[in-house]
Amino acid sequence: MHSAERQTVHRWSLIWAGGLVALVGLILVGLSISASEAWAEVASALGLSLFGWGGVAQLVDGVMLLPAQAAAKQSLPLGSPGFLWSGALAWLVGWGLIASGIRRAPEPTEGPSPAAGAPLYPRLARYRDFYWSTLAAYGGGILLAELVLVLLQTVLSSGVPSTDLSSARDAGGGLSLPPTGAFAIALVVAGLVAFISGFVGASRAQRLALPEATIGVLYLGLPVPILLTLMERIPSLQLALGYRLREVTYVAGLLGRPELAYWLTFTGLVLALVLGINTGFIAAGSGRVDLKLGFELFVARRHVAVFRPSLLLGTLAVLMFGIIPPLLVYFIIRAAEAAVEKTRIRSLGLSDPLAASEALHKLKLREQSPTMMMTALSVGGVGVGVMALIIVLSVMSGFEADLQQKILGTNAHAVVSRYAGDLPEYPKVMETIRKVPGIAGQTPFIINQVMIASEGNVDGVIIKGIDPKTVGDVTDLPRNILGGGSLDILYTPEKILSRGGDDEESETPAGEGDEAPAEDDIIRRTGPAKKAAAVLPGIVIGRELAASLRVVVGDRVNVVSPLGTELSPSGPVPKNRAYRVAAIFYSGMYEYDSKFVYILLKEAQDFFGVQGASGIELKVLDIDDARRIAGQVVKALGGYPYRARDWGEMNKNLFSALRLEKLVMGIILSIIIIVAAGLIVATVIMLVLEKRKEISVLKALGVPDGGIVKIFLAEGLQIGVAGGLLGLFSGLSWCLFIEKVGIKLDPEVYYIPALPVRVEPLQTALAVVIAVLVTYLASIYPALKASSVEPVEGLKAE
């Protein structure tokens, strides 16, 4: 009797020698390419050499480009062509040595064994090493999912022509969704396509088919994200594809790094494919579709007993109050119970030793097994990860929401202007914009950069001409005025409080009656009221700028424009106007409170010589839909020369940095869940080792491999669900505590009095989903190992 298996023989001396020779060749080729500065010409060809045997041809093509490059630049040092050809030859020789070091052992020369002609073991009888249909399902599915994502995102964002809604037609567009909403729908549909493809492929092969999945993802899934990544770096690709994929690149650019968004989306689609593959194997791994889970869930619940009240309450106490206090209480209670029980058993043993022995045996059985302890640690680890993820993301969302509220309270949701020049016809443009659906308010403005000076200081600011009647429909400026002031004071500058001290002011003659002291509403500075000799137009400045200039309401400031000049007896001088501080505002943003000043629109027209306005600020009903509404406004205005920019585009870098920071923080905190997943792997493997006999009995009774996989996947899922729910409850509880009780901050430093918290339902649910998915994926390997247990092996010792 002999083994019919042909073994692979590895001659490690040849393999190591070949690897060393190939490495030397690679180094020589790299040095030669660097010396000739030909990386740009050969990078694409050498990159393709990573994929399959076709890379040999690409390598040859890349090598053939080098002499031409060297001849053109004449930059190769003496002897470097020898390095080039020697390196290429060494590379090929090295791989030849590696190939020669791997051989199959010769077939045995003995005759057939006594079992020759017997039926083959069923699992081996139906085994196939490769399924082309499964490869087509996996590779075609991931490619189709990517194309569906791109096309659906483009269609839903750019608009589908509408024949039902006349308002949409009047706006010049069609039915369309906000970019983020369109991306969410497109991602869900693409994920379903990838999931169904994986399910069909695994059902066809009745196994996971990892080689087919690897080849399909590498050769059919990678080209699309690679192309999108290169599009961000190669101008010719950007010129050819950027216009067609503008909706895709816009959503990717919301993170600040479009390449990161492309690869994260690709990872998500691959994850959907993996879930489909695993689900298809579980459902059809036994040769028929079996979606029933009742028996498997019953067995899984009895094995791990995750939902025991003692385990859940103990884990929740640890999450809510920390590790040390609950564990101290737990060990004190357990030690007291054990001492009392052992005292009782000892007293019982004096009268009935047999009963005492039985009671001692029951006491030992009540002690937790190592597997139960690992289960508790796994549940706690998942709960800690979910809780930390929810708390941190909620706090970061609170900062983002506070920042967004302050920015959108000071700035508009969208701005309409010309590509060049001003808007003299702004009243007519505003009439047209008013008809566009989704517009909540609009106001004209003039903006420019000037210098502002007082008796105490000088600073560069942005001056903005506004219409006090309509500016409140777009921004929060009227509500940010300190001291109960109003922007209407700009219409009546003679009512502005004056403290005196200007050159154009004269004191009230003595003896004509003493007036009551005038008290400033902002800094509470008191003094005798003065009578102004001349009325100056009013200006509204920020609190930080007022502190820098050392002025209060009623003080005089001079505004100087470096962009224009006026004639004076001594020659041309910069434009200079005197204003009186009419009010002071506080927005909570240092950049705005220190750099923005406001005057009447008419005053700005006279000062800068502008006919009309610089643009029109808009407020929309849905800030997430501002980009689409801005596009509809431009269409309603007839397109060029008008353009519209939404708040996301105007503050792209800031909000992209916040989103990227939140994403990176979420990924880092997810490592806690991954660590817990390692505990789950250890727990389920220990269960497999403990239950080998039970697994063998189940398989002997006819439970298929898919059923065994279902049992252990259900056990891992129970741990994930229990930990996720406990982390959700504790995380929301801590967020509520932070919101209600508050963690105080210094307003002078952070411009907010307390730590902001904003619980977003989507990202909170996503934290739980991530935990469940990670625990599910962590359970796959132990479940497969459990399904590979043979009944005979498990029952040998019985």
pLDDT confidence of residue 140: 92
- CB atoms near residue 249 (< 10 Å): 19
Residue 69 has pLDDT above 70, yes or no: no
Specify the amino acid at residue 546: A
Q: Residue-wise over 294-313: b if at least 16 C-beta within 10 A, else e?
A: eebbebbeebbebeeeebbe
CA pair distance 296, 403, nearest whole angstrom: 50
pLDDT confidence of residue 675: 80
Render pLDDT for 127-148 as a digit per residue (tens, 0 to 9): 677 788 889 999 999 999 999 9
Render pLDDT for 220-243 as a digit per residue (tens, 0 to 9): 888 899 888 888 777 877 888 877
Specify the amino acid at residue 750: Y
Sign of torsion over alpha carbons 335, 338, 339, 340: positive
Where do the DSSP E strands lie in 454-595? 458-466, 505-506, 518-519, 526-527, 531-532, 538-542, 556-568, 571-585
Query: DSSP alpha helices (H): ranges in 285-308?
Result: 294-304
How many CA within 13 A on the CB side of residue 753? 3
Residue 116 has pLDDT above 80, yes or no: no
Is the pLDDT higher at 743 or at 154? 154
The three-state secondary structure class of 721 is helix
Whole-angstrom Cα Rg for the chain: 37
Phi/psi at 264 (nearest 5 deg)? Answer: -65, -40
Is the pLDDT higher at 594 or at 287? 594
DSSP string, 603-630: HHHHHHT-SSBSEEEEEES-GGGHHHHH
CA pair distance 366, 200, nearest whole angstrom: 46
pLDDT confidence of residue 59: 55
Is the pLDDT higher at 669 or at 47? 669
> Among 730, 764, 704, which Cα is nearest to 379's?
730
Query: Strand pairing of 526-527 and 518-519?
Result: antiparallel
pLDDT confidence of residue 511: 38
Residue 209 has pLDDT above 70, yes or no: yes
CA 386 to centroid of chain Cα atoms: 16
pLDDT confidence of residue 124: 66
Highest mean pLDDT among 36-45, 561-570, 773-782: 773-782
Residue 21 has pLDDT above 80, yes or no: yes
Residue 295 zone, left/alpha/beta (φ > 0; ψ -120 to 50; rest): alpha
> Among 271, 149, 314, 369, which Cα is nearest to 780's?
271
Burial (Cβ within 10 Å: 0-12, 13-18, ≥19) of residue 558: middle
pLDDT confidence of residue 45: 60
Render pLDDT for 651-666 as a digit per residue (tens, 0 to 9): 777 777 777 777 777 7
- Between vectors from CA 652 to CA 650 and to CA 658, what angle results, nearest 5°? 135
Lowest mean pLDDT among 113-127, 507-521, 723-737: 507-521
Helix, strand counts (H, E) of the chain:
32, 15
Where do the DSSP E strands lie in 621-709? 642-646
Mean pLDDT calculated for residue range 743-767: 79
Lowest mean pLDDT among 99-108, 362-371, 386-395, 764-773: 362-371
- Between vectors from CA 449 to CA 447 and to CA 451, what angle results, nearest 5°? 135
pLDDT confidence of residue 56: 53
Q: Are the beta carbons of 591 and 611 closer than 8 angstroms?
A: no
Sign of torsion over alpha carbons 512, 516, 517, 522: negative
Render pLDDT for 242-281 as a digit per residue (tens, 0 to 9): 778 888 888 888 777 888 889 989 999 999 999 998 888 8
How many CA within 13 A on the CB side of residue 248? 28
Burial (Cβ within 10 Å: 0-12, 13-18, ≥19) of residue 671: exposed
pLDDT confidence of residue 797: 57
Residue 510 has pLDDT above 70, yes or no: no
Render pLDDT for 719-731 as a digit per residue (tens, 0 to 9): 888 888 999 999 9
DSSP-derived letter for residue 221 is: I
Render pLDDT for 579-630 as a digit per residue (tens, 0 to 9): 999 999 988 788 888 889 999 998 888 888 888 888 899 988 888 788 888 8
Confidence of residue 190 (pLDDT cuts 50, 70, 90): very high
Task: For the chain, give the percent of residues with pLDDT over 90.
Answer: 10
pLDDT confidence of residue 139: 92
Mean pLDDT calculated for residue range 552-557: 88
Confidence of residue 368 (pLDDT cuts 50, 70, 90): low
pLDDT confidence of residue 131: 82
169 Cβ neighbours under 8 A, 6+ residues apart: 162, 163
CA pair distance 644, 275, nearest whole angstrom: 43
pLDDT confidence of residue 483: 80
Burial (Cβ within 10 Å: 0-12, 13-18, ≥19) of residue 50: exposed
pTM of the model: 0.69
